[in-house]
Amino acid sequence: MAVRTVERAARQMRSDRKEGTPVTINERKALFDGIAPCRTQEEMRLHTTFRIGGPAELFVTPESEAALCRAVEACRAADLPYQIVGNGSNLLVSDEGIEGAVIAVGEGLDGVEPVPGGLRAGAGVRLSSLCRAAQARGLSGLEFAFGIPGTLGGGLFMNAGAYGGELAQVVRRVRVLTREGELRTREAAQCAFGYRHSAFMDNGDVILAAELALTPDDPAAIEARMQTYLQRRKEKQPLEYPSAGSVFRRPAGHYAGALIERSGLKGARVGGAQVSEKHAGFIINCGGATAGDVRALIEQIQRKVRQDSGVELECEVRFIGRDAVPPTDKGR
């Protein structure tokens, strides 16, 4: 179905329904007929590395770039709220779930191909697969990302980084679907990359693909660096538990984990959520944690660290779903 046909169908659906009658879930689901597979009431805990999150009203899995664009346009034309997700590795999803459509960018948008001086890859490719593809071609620059459990799209949105590297260092340009429904290429300089920040956090772009500039190097040397970083992760991070990685942004001049430890909060627990004993910057799901548990623990940490060190910890994890606003307990 072409975008215009989708818009017509959505307009028709709006005009067909009686004033004040809510659009049924099946009517909403039908928006994606012929565009992408769509499931209803899909538990988001199945799609987040925290293993937390209530049901998404609609869970849409486009299998190509064109299908992703059409799915987004269908939502916009029908005024249906939508949320793009990648691998759900930086998300805390409400226990009450998510209204409207969750559009998951993954398989089908995970192609990787060589371009002069680098690679071009779809937004749905996992960062670790992308690192592997680069290593196999003797291309260096992505080693730091080996072991970050996100997609390229989520990584660009977050400007993911580790061990002195970040995606901004290798991005040449990003292909997006703009809020206005146009396909555009954004040069790296237009992406406002900063520490765990990008223009995509503000401009509503859906990331479709990106071109990365990489440097030729010996595949064995690249592999060795990837393994070193992976080993460091295994040693320092509680990878045996579900989590969303570092919960807080790094405060200027400090490390969040060290401040939390200094406040005696290592091992602190609310319900099934616990400050990791292995890395105090991580909150882990010890089993059955709710988003409410994690929020309460985050607020406890923010309060205690503020009291003890005078530092305001800001969340790196993103809060999505019904009533999802980042915790702020200033003044309490």
Ligand X SMILES: Cc1cc2nc3c(=O)[nH]c(=O)nc-3n(C[C@H](O)[C@H](O)[C@H](O)COP(=O)(O)OP(=O)(O)OC[C@H]3O[C@@H](n4cnc5c(N)ncnc54)[C@H](O)[C@@H]3O)c2cc1C
The catalytic site residues sit at: 196, 246, 316
- How many residues at the interface with ligand X, by CB under 6 A? 32
CA distance 15 to 26: 16
Q: In terms of CB distance, is 93 or 265 closer to ligand X?
A: 93
Q: In terms of CB distance, is 9 or 61 closer to ligand X?
A: 61
Q: Residue from 102, 199, 206, 305 that binds ligand X (CB under 6 A)?
A: 206
The amino acid present at 110, given as its one-letter code, is: D
Residues 42-61 that bind ligand X (CB under 6 A): 49
Q: Residue from 56, 158, 222, 294 that binds ligand X (CB under 6 A)?
A: 158
73-81, 130-138, 199-207, 253-261 -> range binding ligand X (CB under 6 A): 199-207
The amino acid present at 210, given as its one-letter code, is: A
13-21, 57-65, 82-90, 284-292 -> range binding ligand X (CB under 6 A): 82-90
Strands (E), the chain: 38-43, 55-60, 82-85, 91-93, 98-104, 112-115, 118-122, 139-140, 161-162, 165-166, 171-177, 183-187, 206-213, 215-216, 243-246, 269-270, 273-275, 282-285, 318-320
Q: Residue from 161, 281, 321, 327 that binds ligand X (CB under 6 A)?
A: 161
Place of tokens 């396909």: 183
Residues 92-111 that bind ligand X (CB under 6 A): 105
CB 161 within 8 A of CB 155: no
| SS3 (DSSP) at 267 | coil
Shortest Å, Cβ 310 to ligand X: 26
Who contacts 294 (Cβ-Cβ below 8 Å, separation ≥6)?
Answer: 50, 52, 92, 270, 273, 283, 285
Which sign, positive or negative, has the C-alpha torsion 167, 171, 176, 182? positive
User: Pattern 220-239, binding to ligand X, x per CB under 6 A?
Assistant: -----------------x-x
Q: Residue from 54, 62, 86, 257 that binds ligand X (CB under 6 A)?
A: 86
Which sign, positive or negative, has the C-alpha torsion 204, 175, 58, 83? negative
CB 162 within 8 A of CB 237: no
Place of tokens 């991070």: 237
| SS3 (DSSP) at 11 | helix
Q: Residue from 62, 118, 155, 257 that binds ligand X (CB under 6 A)?
A: 155
Q: Residue from 153, 257, 321, 327 that binds ligand X (CB under 6 A)?
A: 153
Q: How many CB atoms lie within 10 A of CB 251?
A: 15
Shortest Å, Cβ 226 to ligand X: 13
Q: Does 150 bind ligand X (CB under 6 A)?
A: yes
Shortest Å, Cβ 141 to ligand X: 16
Q: Residue from 149, 257, 281, 327 that binds ligand X (CB under 6 A)?
A: 149
User: Pattern 253-292, binding to ligand X, x per CB under 6 A?
Assistant: ----------------------------------------
Residue 253 buriedness (CB in 10 A; 0-12 / 13-18 / 19+):
exposed
Q: Residue from 207, 214, 289, 297 that binds ligand X (CB under 6 A)?
A: 207
Site for ligand X, rule CB under 6 A: 49, 84-91, 105, 123, 148-151, 153-155, 157-158, 160-162, 200, 206-207, 237, 239, 243-245, 318
